[in-house]
Amino acid sequence: MAVLSEHSEGFSSSSTHGYTYDVFLSFRGVDTRHGFTNQLYKALMDAKITTFLDDEEIQIGEDLKPELESAIKASRASVIVLSMNYATSTWCLDELVLILEQHMTSNHIVFPLFYHVEPTNVRKQKCSFGDAMAMHRHRMEAETNANKRSKLAEKMEKWNKALTEVADLKGIDINGRKETEVIVEVVNDIYNRLRISSRSPVPQLIGMDNSINFVTSWLQDASLHTTNILTILGIGGIGKTSLAKYVYTLHCHEFHTSSFIEDIGKRCDAKASGLLDLQQQLCDDISKTTSILVNNASIYTSKIENVVSRKKVFLVLDDINSLDQLNALLGSKAFHPGSKIIITTKDAWLTESCALFKKNFKPNHLKHLLEGLDDTGSRKLLCFHAFMSYDPNPGYEELSDKLVKYCEGHPMALKGMGKALHNRDISYWEGCMEELKKENGARIHNVLRGSFDSLPSNDNKDLFKDIACFFVGMDKDVAITILNSFGIETRNGITNLIDRGLLSINQNNKLMMRQLIQEMGRYIVCEESPNKPWKRSRLWCDEESFKVLKQKKGKGNIRGLTLDMRMLEKEKLRGSVELKTDALSKMDRLMLLQLNYVQIRGSYENFPEELRWLCMHGFPLKSIPSDLPMENLVALDMSYSNIESFGVCYSNSQLLQKRQKLDGYCLKDKRVLGSLKILNLSFCEQLISLGGFDELPALERLIVTNCIGLREVCESIEQCVQLVLVDLSYCIKIEKLSRIVCVLKKVKTFLLEGCNLGES
């Protein structure tokens, strides 16, 4: 009987590679079974390294059992515990021969462990190994059957050769070392060489077998000694990312190094430094080191080119939507032969337009278009989410078929509808189908809209539209703080969105939406007034927002508006790019406003009084205007601005006079910022002092990172009894830091990386 162990919650590669185990343990039971080998086995299993260990002994002269031969071939690596009596077992010697054959023919990794034996004695078959081989030789010579004697002689030759070869491999000598220390070293070595740390659960793909087989075949084809690029094409939500992630998870360990960069287009659109962040992630992944932060895309591209020219890499670049992204992440120099690159995009022309294809030696390029699931796959996917089965419940067959036909094989639509109809009765399904028939517009959006329409309240629907238009990628807790100020129950609403597949929270606590879901939410807003953006409730398109403000068409119907001037192509803008504050004067219901790097002139009293979130990156003034209405503000973000001071610090009268001159901002009303819970002044390099905290009784989060000129945080900060997070990272000149930490005893999170803790 053998002990076979696999971790279902971890990674399994058995289906695609033929691998069932990570490690095969070869050992002599009488020497180490109940001691070293048992402890090693337990440590491997605790590290989620799938391990085969046989628990039966074999008598001298027996052949290797077929199940052991199969287990060796089905393992990615073998650990050979070479102990004193190892060579007395013909079974162990047969295992050793087969393991080394696999090592030569199929990249099987071998870890020799010399357990209280000298490697030279193994190599030259001396001492206990010499005695064992002499015993086998004596048995061979005593054999009267000529045929058996010939086979034994052939085996003896293989055994001798295998012992010599295994002793020449790099291994670990246990002599003179603690066994527990050796076990830790072995497990770590296996963990790193088999890249266990990069494992993640294999995403479940229903109805995509043909695509999986195609991509897997392309990936394993080594006939072309050039860089191979596969572009997976299709509309949003069709399964491009899921397919790429599935194949990457199963095959990434076959390469020297690998990287999966997800949501490239979305992450680049989210902020100006998005592409730099992605380049840094790619550099770190493929070089296996943490790179020094730089602010130049060409430097990162050069680093990437240097690594990919020396190593066989496997890269997945997901959701590419511009040539700049491709060129920055791939560069223009040749990759190491055998490298594989998967690109997912909606634009078929992008890949062959990048710099790699403008060289004399172009990469080999294939395209794979995802057009949706067939009826069988669609039915299985819908039923899996609606009934937790691959087939519909009795009575739902006809309705399921109608819904499958309506969704036209779109995986995201099928999944969304299935989740929305889970545990619903037939009449609810029929009502849903009737509603779908009445919808107009983009068919895919209408299919997904069933999940939106299933939301239990108008508050939930407004919450979904707010997140889709403004908050995707934002920290969940920050978004909840802002949205709660609207008077709605946000946490339960977010739960409802997640339950219907409309929203997810990533490992960094960010609000995330599938691209198609976000597009559907914005499409619903566009339907409010397809041709007149100023009549919609929310404006997120930079070009439309700029025109509405420039033409002063904004009215009281607008709930939220974002504009980042860096995202506009200036050559398309006619006339002055400067805006006037009176463009906001009639937007009396505006609660969400982002004006990043905007040139705006006029009185700030024109800003709406109902504002809850104000974000003005790159604000040009040295202080916050005194006429800016802030009574209802919950979150203020003035990052990357020229602000020199905030509030008034009361430490002594001289500093008070000095800072009042800098401020130009006196708090006439002691509660003018009484609602403010989040204050972000990050990257304000001119900021010298922070004060006036007695005017911020509700403050919960103070984020002031990379303010390299900040010297003082006023003692009044101790009056902010609601503070839970203070981030002063890389404020390198700040003084009396230890005092700040001491007075804020209720703060749960202090981030002080890069601060001068020694002198404070």
The whole-number average pLDDT for the span 352-369 is: 86
SS3 letters across 334-388: CCCCCCEEEEEECCCCCHHHCHHHHCCCCCEEEEEECCCCCHHHHHHHHHHHHHC
* pLDDT tens profile 425-456: 999 999 888 876 655 435 567 656 767 887 88
DSSP conformational letter for 475: B
Query: What is the rounded distance in angstroms from the CA atom of residue 39 to the CA atom of residue 460?
Result: 54
Helix spans in 467-596 (H)? 476-484, 490-499, 515-526, 542-550
Structure tokens given for 595: 């004006």
Q: Please choose, from the candidates 594, 662, 672, 694, the residue with its C-alpha nearest in 3D space to the C-alpha of residue 628.
A: 672
Residue type, 434: E
- Tell which wins on pLDDT, 192 or 612: 612
CATH hierarchy code of domain 612-751: 3.80.10.10
H helices, E strands: number in the chain? 27, 27
| Lowest-confidence region among 285-299, 347-361, 454-468, 649-663 | 649-663
pLDDT tens-place string over residues 53-67: 886 554 444 566 788
Binning pLDDT at 50, 70 and 90, where does residue 760 land? very low
Say whether pLDDT at 10 is over 70.
no
Hey, where are the domains in the chain? 2-196, 200-369, 375-517, 612-751
The pLDDT of residue 82: 96
Of 594 and 416, the structure prediction assigns the larger pLDDT to: 594
With cut-offs at 50, 70 and 90, classify the pLDDT of residue 571: low
Any bridge partners for residue 229, and if so which?
A: 341, 365
Q: Which CATH architecture has domain 200-369?
A: 3-Layer(aba) Sandwich (3.40)
**Residue 330: its pLDDT value, please?**
92
Angle, in degrees to the nearest 10, between helices 297-308 and 323-330: 50
pLDDT score at 185: 86
Cα–Cα dist 686/706, whole Å: 11
Whether the CB-CB separation of 634 and 655 falls below 8 Å is answered with no
Identical fold, 200-369 and 612-751: no
pLDDT the model gives residue 3 = 29
CA of residue 225 relative to chain centroid, distance = 31
What pLDDT is stored for residue 456 in this prediction? 80
Six-digit token string for 133: 């081989």
pLDDT band (50, 70, 90) for residue 8: very low
| DSSP state letters, 4-40 | E---TTS---HHHHS--EEEEEE--HHHHIIIIIHHH
In this prediction, residue 541 carries a pLDDT of 92
Is the sign of the CA dihedral 342, 346, 348, 353 positive or negative? Answer: negative
Nearest to 659 by CA among 667, 648, 674, 669: 648
Residue type, 612: R
Q: What is the mean pLDDT of residues 657-672?
A: 45
Which pLDDT tens digit goes with each residue over 163-190?
999 999 989 999 889 898 898 888 878 8
Pairing of strands 689-690, 712-713: parallel
The span from the CA of 480 to the CA of 485, in Å, is 9
What is the structure's pLDDT at 450?
66
pLDDT at 123 over 60: yes
Q: Is the pLDDT of residue 657 over 80?
A: no
Q: How far apart are CA 625 and CA 634, in angstroms?
A: 17
In contact, 714 and 649? CB cutoff 8 Å: yes
pLDDT band for 665, please (50, 70, 90 cuts).
very low
d(CA 114, CA 84): 9
Q: Give, as one character, the DSSP assignment of residue 750.
A: E
pTM of the model: 0.54
Over residues 516-522, the mean pLDDT reads 83
User: Mean pLDDT across the chain, nearest whole number?
Assistant: 85
Q: What percent of the chain has pLDDT over 70?
A: 88
> In the sheet where 257-261 sits, what is the strand order?
257-261, 313-320, 340-345, 228-233, 364-369
Task: Answer whether 585's CB lies under 8 Å from 555's CB.
Answer: no
pLDDT for residue 437: 63
Helices (H), 252-341: 264-270, 274-287, 297-308, 323-330
Distance, CA of 344 to CA of 340 (rounded, Å): 13
Q: Which of 203, 230, 200 is nearest to 214 (CA)?
A: 230
Assess whether pLDDT exceeds 90 at residue 539. Answer: yes
Q: Provide CB contacts within 8 A for 261, sequence distance 6+.
A: 278, 281, 282, 315, 316, 317, 318, 329
Residue 485 is given by DSSP the state T
Position 14 scores a pLDDT of: 34
Tokens of 450: 């069933």
Q: Which of 11-20, 170-179, 576-585, 607-616 has the highest mean pLDDT?
A: 607-616
Cβ-Cβ contacts under 8 Å for 245 (sequence gap 6 or more): 203, 260, 262, 316, 318
- In this structure, are residues 140 and 146 in contact, taking their beta carbons and an 8 Å threshold? no
User: What is the rounded CA–CA span in Å between residue 335 and residue 315?
Assistant: 11
Which residue would you say has higher pLDDT here, 643 or 199? 643
User: Which of 318, 319, 330, 316 minimizes the C-alpha distance to 359?
Assistant: 330
Provide the CATH number for the domain formed by 2-196 in this structure. Answer: 3.40.50.10140
Distance (Å, rounded) from C-alpha 566 to C-alpha 573? 12
Residues written for the chain:
760
Are 133 and 156 in contact, with CB atoms under 8 Å apart?
Answer: yes
C-beta separation of 577 from 557 below 8 A: no
DSSP-derived letter for residue 510 is B
Which residues have C-beta within 8 Å of that of residue 714, sequence separation ≥ 6?
647, 648, 649, 650, 651, 689, 690, 691, 692, 693
Q: In sequence order, what are the residues at sequence separation of 6 or more whose Cβ sits closer than 8 angstroms to the Cβ of residue 250? A: 13, 16, 17, 202, 216
